[in-house]
Structure 1
Amino acid sequence: MSFSASPLRLGAAFALAAVLSACSSTPTLPSTPGGDSSSKATGYLVGSAIPDSLALSPAPPAPGSASAQLDDAVASQALSMQGSARFAQAHTDADLSFPAGADQFSCALGVAVTAKTTPVLYRLLERSRIDASAATKAAKTHYQRPRPFMVNNAPTCTPDDEEGLRKSGSYPSGHTSIGWAWGLILSEIDPDHATALIERGRNYGHSRLVCNVHWYSDVQQGQFMGAATVARLHDNPAFVADLAKAREELAHARTLKQPLPRDCAAETAALTSDIPEAR
């Protein structure tokens, strides 16, 4: 069995980002410690500009359906990764707080993202994180789908978060929405690294399966909502302006040749040692 992104599925995500641009609980998002501003970050999108996940998301798979059986099969495979380097990477990927969140894509990007060296990009990622998270809230609240660890009683990669996760619906995945949105945004800022960045966006969501906190269909719909968010962001003047500034800022940051904040070889090895049959 494979749940790597097919060309058709990846093409659909990009198509959605283009088409929806004409249209107009969620992970806890801590305030930024050590950020470039004393003000608390806010998203770019407000009100009806935030994609409506309840309108855009079908009901999660019904028990006994083919989709539910796929969810169960993938969850069973994911459990085999517990205690592995991939499981440890899923724990790292779970951290969306800033400044840690800003570095989740640094290996794929080849540049450290910090409030000091890349302040515009840092803030852009922080603000878009809020938007992509908000885009999953309505469906999460409505469906209140139990998470895998609540069903299989197996450990998660973030035991300290389990109490809060029990109160937050599993469908769609907020972390996946954020990771996919970041992958799309960063690939637009840095097209030379687009393949690595989009793949990182895919396996960022995949980490939620390995962590035992999301079902496969949660992750699939999370990608959809992340793409919908990026589409709406392209109709936001502040985001478009920051996107252009971030592109120039990144080009300058590359000339600084600063060391990356994490062991990229170890990260790559962990991400490629995937769930059995997933490669």
Structure 2
Amino acid sequence: MSRSPFPLRLGAAFVLAAALGACAGTPATVSAGHGQATAPAPTGYLQGAAIPDSLALSPPPPAPGSAWAALDDAVARQALALRDSARFRQAHTDADLRFPTGAGQFSCALGVPVDAARTPALYRLLQRSLIDASAATRAAKNHYKRPRPFMVNGEPTCTPDDEPHLRGSGSYPSGHTAIGWAWALILSEIAPERATALLERGRNYGHSRLVCNVHWYSDVQQGQAMGAAVVARLHDNAEFRADLAAARREIAATPAQALPMPRDCAAEDAVLATDLPEAR
């Protein structure tokens, strides 16, 4: 993987409503009708000060007129050229982090379909780490309130229905990227023989936010840094370590490509090979 010129310092996203409640510290429940409630919604592994502080760990976003801002603009222009392409449609697919759909975003790179029935430990691991990675970007997002590319260039996004929400959510750092990179790192530990494919998928997952016209390149770079910071903190959490070990056992017991995949992996691989030259 090539080095980015943007300085990385280790330590929004579309998250389940339950996850947002969990990040606020109050586990949510969903009514089943007639006064009955389902099980509590999932919560993150990390609480309070254990969540990396993106405001402390992130430099300010690039200043107007700086070399970093010029790179952001150059990558944004390249991304706009992919509008209405297969890569643009892939960015739309990648935007969906709602479970159960979100659990399958890395299935092709992993070589195993991920769902609550067949891989419950991994499904739980992805759900809970999503909440942590999303929470870790919030302080900087709320502080900098950086306008997103579509708010500046006036061009469409790959998720027009989400634009009203996105206008009120800061662009820097990218929450989707933090989640995707955290997942790529975690999955690389679970299936080290597929680490290259998983890390490439993590990189391309962040780049989908550029193609979607909802994030700048520096947002994505710092999102990766926050995702890595989250994974570093997760390794100090006993519940995470237990779920990680359980997920390893699940995947080891499932031969690669032995089950039908939730998407056309050959087509996805071909589309993701179309990347942004300035962002590699």
How far off is 1:257 after superposition? 1.7
Quote the residue 1:46 is aligned against.
47
| Structure 2 Cα separation of the partners of residues 277 and 141 of structure 1 | 28
Quote the residue 1:72 is aligned against.
73
How far off is 1:252 after superposition? 1.6
How many residues of Structure 1 are paired with residues of Structure 2 in the alignment?
A: 261
Quote the residue 1:186 is aligned against.
187
Residues 134, 199 of structure 1: alpha-carbon distance in 2 compared, 3 angstrom cutoff: same
Quote the residue 1:157 is aligned against.
158
How far off is 1:277 after superposition? 6.1
Q: Report the residue type matching 2:60 in the other structure.
A: A
Residues 256, 179 of structure 1: alpha-carbon distance in 2 compared, 3 angstrom cutoff: closer
Quote the residue 2:14 is aligned against.
27
SS of equivalent residue, structure 2 residue 181: helix
Cα deviation 1:95-154 (Å, max 9, x = unaligned):
000000000000000000010000000000000000001000000000000000000000
How far off is 1:254 after superposition? 2.5
Do structure 1's residue 125 and structure 2's residue 126 form an aligned pair? Answer: yes
SS of equivalent residue, structure 2 residue 200: helix
Quote the residue 2:221 is aligned against.
220
Unmatched segments (≥5 aa) in structure 1: none
Q: Which moved more, 1:265-274 or 1:125-134?
A: 265-274
| Structure 2 Cα separation of the partners of residues 229 and 248 of structure 1 | 23
Q: Report the residue type matching 1:217 in the other structure.
A: S
Quote the residue 1:135 is aligned against.
136
Q: Report the residue type matching 1:29 in the other structure.
A: L
Q: Report the residue type matching 2:51 in the other structure.
A: I
8 Å CA contact 2:44–2:130 kept in 1: the answer is: yes
Q: TM-score, normalised by structure 2?
A: 0.88
How far off is 1:258 after superposition? 1.2
| Structure 2 Cα separation of the partners of residues 163 and 213 of structure 1 | 12
SS of equivalent residue, structure 1 residue 253: coil
Cα deviation 1:172-196 (Å, max 9, x = unaligned):
0000000000000000010000000
Quote the residue 1:235 is aligned against.
236
How far off is 1:28 after superposition? 3.3
Q: Report the residue type matching 1:58 in the other structure.
A: P
Quote the residue 1:56 is aligned against.
57
Q: Percent identity?
A: 71
| Structure 1 Cα separation of the partners of residues 140 and 193 of structure 2 | 35
Cα deviation 1:225-249 (Å, max 9, x = unaligned):
0000000000000001111111001
SS of equivalent residue, structure 1 residue 274: coil
8 Å CA contact 2:91–2:209 kept in 1: the answer is: yes
Quote the residue 1:248 is aligned against.
249
8 Å CA contact 2:14–2:95 kept in 1: the answer is: no
Q: Report the residue type matching 2:14 in the other structure.
A: P
Q: Report the residue type matching 1:125 in the other structure.
A: L
How far off is 1:31 after superposition? 4.2
Q: Report the residue type matching 2:88 in the other structure.
A: F
| Structure 1 Cα separation of the partners of residues 104 and 247 of structure 2 | 15
| Structure 1 Cα separation of the partners of residues 249 and 74 of structure 2 | 45
Q: Report the residue type matching 1:172 in the other structure.
A: P
RMSD, aligned CA:
2.1
Q: Structure 1 residue runs of 4+, over 2 Å off?
A: 25-33, 253-256, 274-279
Unmatched segments (≥5 aa) in structure 2: 20-29, 31-37
Q: Report the residue type matching 2:221 in the other structure.
A: Q
Quote the residue 1:211 is aligned against.
212
| Structure 2 Cα separation of the partners of residues 213 and 26 of structure 1 | 11
Residues 146, 160 of structure 1: alpha-carbon distance in 2 compared, 3 angstrom cutoff: same
| Structure 1 Cα separation of the partners of residues 208 and 133 of structure 2 | 17
How far off is 1:29 after superposition? 2.6
Q: TM-score, normalised by structure 1?
A: 0.89
1:90-105 matches, within 5 Å, as: 90-105=91-106
How far off is 1:221 after superposition? 0.2
| Structure 2 Cα separation of the partners of residues 275 and 256 of structure 1 | 29
Q: Report the residue type matching 1:242 in the other structure.
A: D
Quote the residue 1:110 is aligned against.
111
Cα deviation 1:21-54 (Å, max 9, x = unaligned):
xxxx443334499xxx833111000000000000
| Structure 1 Cα separation of the partners of residues 262 and 51 of structure 2 | 33
8 Å CA contact 1:26–1:134 kept in 2: the answer is: no
| Structure 1 Cα separation of the partners of residues 269 and 257 of structure 2 | 23
8 Å CA contact 2:90–2:271 kept in 1: the answer is: yes
